[in-house]
Structure 1
Amino acid sequence: MEPRTSPLVAHVLRLRPGEDLLRSLEAYVATHGLEAAVLLTCVGSLDGASIRFANREDATWIPGKHEITSLVGTLSASGGSHVHVGIADGDGVARGGHLMEGSRVYTTAEITLGALPALRFSREPDPTYGYDELVAYPKE
């Protein structure tokens, strides 16, 4: 694959209690017309999490208060998103996987997104496993 490059513009936002983490990220990207964005960092907490674990079709609901220990992924207003989350409970037990809708902010989510203005993300079928995978194109 040919590497793609772009300057990076940082967007900093804070989500408040009760906001859906994934929906809010996707809404921000759509509102600001970001066609290629990456999650740089996030600290905060969730009041319940909806996560799809590896090699499973359905999400698992994890009740309770959790720290967000990791939030990584790619987002695009027109090209879809792919976001993974890591969480830890009050005993430090960690879980992670695909972030799904329904994961609500408990106290805060302080997020820094990196926008890549010279690129456009797309998700296209990859014959290896049949999933739609990330393809980066120069933005025209």
Structure 2
Amino acid sequence: KLTGMSSKTGKWFLYALVGSSFWGFSGTASSALFIRYHFSAILLSSLRMLIGGIFIIIIFRAGIPRKDVKNFLVFTFAGLMPVQISYIETIKYTNAATATLIQYLFLPIIFIYEIFKKIIRVDRYIIDI
């Protein structure tokens, strides 16, 4: 138990630590798979999502209610898959660090674009820090 943390907080801290470690390892492992075994980005993304989904279902016993299966599949193929493929493609052509940086800069870039195209309006209260 970490000093000053409740057991519940410590558990979630551990989850974050393990998850971020796996995230970092997966980028490096992806890079190695591209160089050594010439994996395609689509194959690697599909394997990552399939194995990750199986782990989530097994570990957390996450059942999807029957009424939500359609939405879950749409989100998987229209939302998650393109993001994963673009991340893996970036690793393929650059490296894991660059791919992660680009991924995290995506939202601020979209935010700035939407401001300049006047898609959204920013009040001064949002910017006030």
Q: TM-score, normalised by structure 1?
A: 0.22
RCO higher in 1 or 2 (8 Å CA, sep ≥ 6)? 1
Return the index of the structure with the highest Cα Rg. Answer: 2
The structure that is helix-richer by fraction is 2
The structure that is strand-richer by fraction is 1
